[in-house]
Amino acid sequence: MTILDKIIENKAREVAERKALVSIEELTKKGYFAKTTNSLKTSLLNPASTGIIAEFKRKSPSKGIINAHVTVEEVTTGYVQAGAACLSVLTDMDFFGGSDEDILAARKANPTIPILRKDFIIDEYQIFEAKALGADVILLIAANLTPTRIYELGKVVKDLGMETLLEVHDQEELDRSLCEYIDVVGVNNRNLKNFAEQNVNASLELADKIPSHCIKISESCISQPETIKQLREVGYRGFLIGETFMKTPAPAETLKSLIAQIQ
């Protein structure tokens, strides 16, 4: 069993429990459900955008605790002030130490920036939940979803006025997963089945395989300004970065100095 299999098995149990407690009907009346969403696509297409999607991530299955000392409010407001194009907030508790409260707090503190709900989405229910939590963008991971599920879930995302980030790790996943509901394609440099990679080779290899009309971003294992420049040259507009910032005592300051080196 891979780490991803374990995460998905756990997630199915979690979603079933949540569904039994709060109905979709109730979710549509909760929190930020009625709020108009902020577009990631628009943000990334702005020529002045830094393209950095800055992630709030306390821990991960491969690294353990990354940062237990900072608050979601201070980090996310700092990310926005430093020039992030979008925020990514982990809501998976068991493997990544995130929570619903984290994304609610990030939204409350940052009303106008797009926010990605970073979780393992396997059910329509979680998309309604994400909207109530104030998310604008939903991650769909090709490694654990069939093409039919990606299409069905992508349609729900669109119907709720949000955007879909499709995550792929190789050409097989890319070829079977693209559909009309994908707004942004992300290449995860890390293989979620073993969490092994430490480089951006997957993004470099897939750069010219992704259709040119797609907005593409590179995810994970990015720490150097030179890497961002190299990825920009092959067409990447967005860079999803967590650990590089979160492992430092002041994540937003680290983002600020990275931005200074890529402009």
Ligand X SMILES: O=P(O)(O)OC[C@@H](O)[C@@H](O)c1c[nH]c2ccccc12
Which residues are annotated as catalytic? 55, 57, 118, 167, 188, 219-220
Q: Which residues pair with 140 in a beta bridge?
A: 166
Calpha distance 126→253 (Å, rounded): 32
Smaller CB distance to ligand X: residue 141 or 178?
Answer: 141
Q: Does 173 bind ligand X (CB under 6 A)?
A: no
Q: Does 129 bind ligand X (CB under 6 A)?
A: no
Q: Single out the residue of 38, 126, 164, 188 in contact with ligand X (rule: CB under 6 A).
A: 188
- Pattern of binders to ligand X over 86-125, x per CB under 6 A? --------------------------------x-------
Q: Single out the residue of 134, 154, 242, 251 in contact with ligand X (rule: CB under 6 A).
A: 242
- Pattern of binders to ligand X over 131-170, x per CB under 6 A? ----------x-------------------------x---
Q: Does 240 bind ligand X (CB under 6 A)?
A: yes
Q: Does 216 bind ligand X (CB under 6 A)?
A: no
- Pattern of binders to ligand X over 39-58, x per CB under 6 A? ----------------x-x-
**DSSP classification of residue 121:** -
Smaller CB distance to ligand X: residue 1 or 48?
Answer: 1
- Count interface residues toward ligand X (CB under 6 A): 15
Tell me how far CA of residue 238 lies from CA of 76, 103, 108, 197, 230, in angstroms.
18, 21, 24, 19, 12
In 139-179, where does DSSP find H-type helix? 147-159, 171-177
DSSP assignment of 9-72, as one string? HHHHHHHHHHHHHS-HHHHTTSTTTTSPPPPHHHHHHSTT---EEEEE-SEETTTEES-SS--H
Choices 124-132, 202-210, 216-224, 252-260 (CB under 6 A): range interacting with ligand X: 216-224
Is residue 82 classed as helix, strand or coil in its secondary structure? helix
**Residue 167 exposed, middle or buried by CB count within 10 Å (0-12, 13-18, 19+):** buried
Q: Does 220 bind ligand X (CB under 6 A)?
A: yes
Smaller CB distance to ligand X: residue 71 or 198?
Answer: 198
Smaller CB distance to ligand X: residue 23 or 224?
Answer: 224
Smaller CB distance to ligand X: residue 50 or 220?
Answer: 220
Count the neighbouring beta carbons within 10 Å of the beta carbon of residue 123. 19
**Residue 208 exposed, middle or buried by CB count within 10 Å (0-12, 13-18, 19+):** exposed
Calpha distance 196→191 (Å, rounded): 6
Q: Single out the residue of 243, 251, 255, 258 in contact with ligand X (rule: CB under 6 A).
A: 243
CB of 96 to ligand X, least distance (A): 6
Q: Name the residues that contact ligand X, by CB under 6 A.
A: 55, 57, 118, 141, 167, 188, 219-222, 240-244
